[in-house]
Structure formats: structure tokens, C-alpha cells
């Protein structure tokens, strides 16, 4: 391999180019070759590309075509930015690319990005983990052409009743609803569907498991959307009257002592907890 040739897998974020990390931007802007997932990554992520950089959309390419491009450029000593949607670690199909780079002896690194899941939580103005409501988030999908491993079918996971974020499943929203209702969720469970978060045509639909499917059909959403399920997506979750005092984290509570702060009134405090070190 030529000197300094390298591939950087880059989390391109959900669409809004301002959600690229500074590191991602720096590497994209200095890359000799940019191969970006043009189905879900906004072309403006390449706006700062250096003069003469080769810019290639990957949506019509096969795995072999993409890796051949990356390997030959890296072998010529070039820097390749492989820009994926969201964060590469979630349904990013990066492992198969990495295997081929390893086999070819090409150096690579991964720059994380903002997953569409996190951008969706931001536009919905909520938190996936809410004390006493849900402390667990499952990122998953409905079984499709890719079979789910044992124990990971949606109806198995639905038994947990926690926050669920479904990728790659919107096309079969009716099936999503019936699988979830076979578990711990019912018609009243809050659901949000976020279409193309961060793009100019972003759409947010909120409802419940009982009414989300017809709402999605009416909106004509058939792809590029997340389905977010659980009490964390109840529009009332931010209303102080609904939450009372119970559903707040101990972390900033004035009567709670932890590693970095003593309770305002120590007598009222519980035993010392080291929650802050986990924050």
C-alpha cells in the first residue's frame, strides 16, 4: 500500500450538515476521495471538499464496487472519507467493508456520528431514559428480508415494555403495531414517527399504538423514518403537573449527596451515591 493511504468511516449524521462532528468535517474537507451514502446523507456534507477531490454517491454501488474504490485509492496513498448515514455502528453495514479492507491490508478508522435516533429524540424534545418510566432503550427493527436472531423478534422484545426505537420498519407499520401489541404495549402506548429528521421535508407524527398506522398511511410515509415507542414519547411527559416529583433523576436533586456534591440539607439526604460518576 502507498504511504499514508487510509479509509475513514464517518458518521454523516441524519441529514443536517451542521450535525457533523468537527472531526468528521475536517476529514471530509481534506479527503482525496469522498464516497457518501447519497440516499440518506445530504450532499452538502461535501461542500467543503478540497479542489480536485473525487465525490462519489454510493447508493447505486455494490459492496465490491465500494470497497474496490476504497482499496485502490488507499493503495495510491489517498485519504478516503466513507460517509455513512447517522452513526456507522447502527445498521451501517460497515463490518463487511472493514473485513475487506483488513484482508487488503488497508488502514482504516471510524469517526462516530449523530444517529437518526438521537436526532429524533432531539426534535421530539424528550429523553429515551426517564426515571420510573423506562431505563432501557432497544434499537431494533422488524424482521424483513434479514432474519432476526433467536429471541430478537419484535414480539419477543415487546415483552420488555421499555423505550423502543425501530429502524427500517416503517413500510410495514401494521405489522409493527400487531407485534408490539402481542407484547407489553397496548393501544394507548405513545408512538412517534419521525420521517427524514434533519431534512427540509422532515415530518413528525405523534399518536398511540391504536392510531399510528392510519396516521402514517395518510401522511404517505413509506421509508426513511423511525418508529419510536413508549411512554417517553407521551407529549405530556414534559408537563410538570404530569410528572410530579417522582419522575426526576437523583442526579441534580438538592437532597441527594453524591461524589461531587453534598446534599443541601445533609440530614435529609440518602446514603452517599456515586451516580454522578455515571452521568
Ligand X SMILES: C[S@@+](CC[C@H](N)C(=O)[O-])C[C@H]1O[C@@H](n2cnc3c(N)ncnc32)[C@H](O)[C@@H]1O
Q: Which of 32, 38, 87, 179 touches ligand X by CB under 6 A?
A: 87
Q: Interface with ligand X includes 128 (CB under 6 A)?
A: no
Give the shortest CB-134-to-ligand X separation in angstroms: 20
**Nearer residue to ligand X within complex by CB, 85 or 163:** 85
**Nearer residue to ligand X within complex by CB, 98 or 275:** 98
**Nearer residue to ligand X within complex by CB, 5 or 92:** 92
Stretch near ligand X under the rule CB under 6 A, chosen from 2-10, 48-56, 196-204, 211-219: 196-204
Q: Interface with ligand X includes 31 (CB under 6 A)?
A: no
Q: Interface with ligand X includes 203 (CB under 6 A)?
A: no
Stretch near ligand X under the rule CB under 6 A, chosen from 142-150, 178-186, 219-227, 239-247: 219-227
DSSP string, 123-150: HTT--S-BTTTB--EEEEE---SSPPPT
Give the shortest CB-143-to-ligand X separation in angstroms: 14
Q: Which of 20, 225, 229, 232 touches ligand X by CB under 6 A?
A: 225
Q: Is the dihedral of CA 182, 183, 188, 189 positive or negative?
A: negative
**Cα gap 81→27, rounded to integer Å:** 7
Q: Which of 91, 128, 185, 256 touches ligand X by CB under 6 A?
A: 91
DSSP string, the chain: --TT-EEEEEE-BSS-GGGS-HHHHHHHHH-SEEEE-TTTS-GGGGTTPPTT-EEEE-TT--HHHHHHHHHHHHHTT-EEEEEESB-TTSS---HHHHHHHHHHT--EEEE----HHHHHHHHTT--S-BTTTB--EEEEE---SSPPPTT-SHHHHGGG-SEEEEES-GGGHHHHHHHHHTTT--TTSEEEEEESTTSTT-EEEEEETTTHHHHHHHHT--SSEEEEESGGG-GGGG-HHHHTTTTS-STT-TT--BTTB--SSGGG--S-B-GGGG-
Q: Interface with ligand X includes 15 (CB under 6 A)?
A: yes
Stretch near ligand X under the rule CB under 6 A, chosen from 45-53, 79-87, 183-191, 251-259: 79-87
* Shortest-Cβ-distance residue relative to ligand X: 86
Q: Interface with ligand X includes 92 (CB under 6 A)?
A: yes
Stretch near ligand X under the rule CB under 6 A, chosen from 61-69, 86-94, 153-161, 231-239: 86-94
**Nearer residue to ligand X within complex by CB, 130 or 226:** 226
Which residues form the interface with ligand X (CB under 6 A)? Answer: 14-15, 40, 85-87, 90-92, 115-116, 167-168, 194, 196-198, 224-226
Amino acid at each position: 500500500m502507498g504511504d499514508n493511504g487510509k479509509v475513514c468511516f464517518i458518521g454523516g449524521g441524519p441529514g443536517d450538515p451542521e450535525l457533523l462532528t468537527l472531526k468528521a468535517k475536517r476529514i471530509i474537507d481534506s479527503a482525496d476521495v469522498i464516497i457518501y451514502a447519497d440516499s440518506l446523507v445530504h450532499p452538502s456534507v461535501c461542500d467543503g471538499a478540497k479542489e480536485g477531490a473525487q465525490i462519489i454517491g454510493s447508493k447505486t454501488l455494490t459492496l465490491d464496487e465500494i470497497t474496490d474504490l476504497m482499496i485502490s485509492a488507499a493503495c495510491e496513498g489517498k485519504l478516503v472519507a466513507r460517509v455513512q448515514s447517522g452513526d456507522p455502528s447502527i445498521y451501517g453495514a460497515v463490518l463487511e467493508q472493514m473485513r475487506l479492507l483488513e484482508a487488503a491490508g488497508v488502514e482504516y478508522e471510524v469517526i462516530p456520528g449523530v444517529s437518526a435516533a438521537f436526532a429524533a429524540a432531539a426534535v421530539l424534545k424528550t429523553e429515551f431514559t426517564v426515571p420510573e418510566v423506562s431505563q432501557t432503550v432497544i434499537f431494533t427493527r422488524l424482521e424483513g428480508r434479514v432474519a432476526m436472531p433467536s429471541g430478537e423478534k419484535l414480539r419477543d422484545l415487546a415483552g420488555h415494555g421499555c423505550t423502543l426505537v425501530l429502524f427500517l420498519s416503517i413500510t410495514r407499520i401494521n405489522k409493527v403495531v400487531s407485534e408490539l401489541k402481542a407484547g407489553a404495549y397496548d393501544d394507548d402506548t405513545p408512538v412517534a414517527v419521525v420521517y427524514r429528521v434533519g431534512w427540509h421535508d422532515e415530518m413528525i407524527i405523534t399518536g398511540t399504538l391504536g392510531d399510528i398506522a392510519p396516521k402514517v398511511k395518510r401522511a404517505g410515509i413509506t421509508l426513511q423514518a423511525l418508529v419510536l415507542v413508549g411512554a417517553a414519547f407521551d407529549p405530556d411527559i414534559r408537563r410538570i403537573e404530569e410528572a410530579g416529583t417522582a419522575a426526576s433523576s437523583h442526579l441534580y436533586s438538592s437532597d441527594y449527596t453524591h461524589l461531587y456534591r453534598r446534599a443541601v440539607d445533609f440530614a435529609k439526604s440518602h446514603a452517599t451515591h456515586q451516580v454522578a460518576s455515571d452521568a
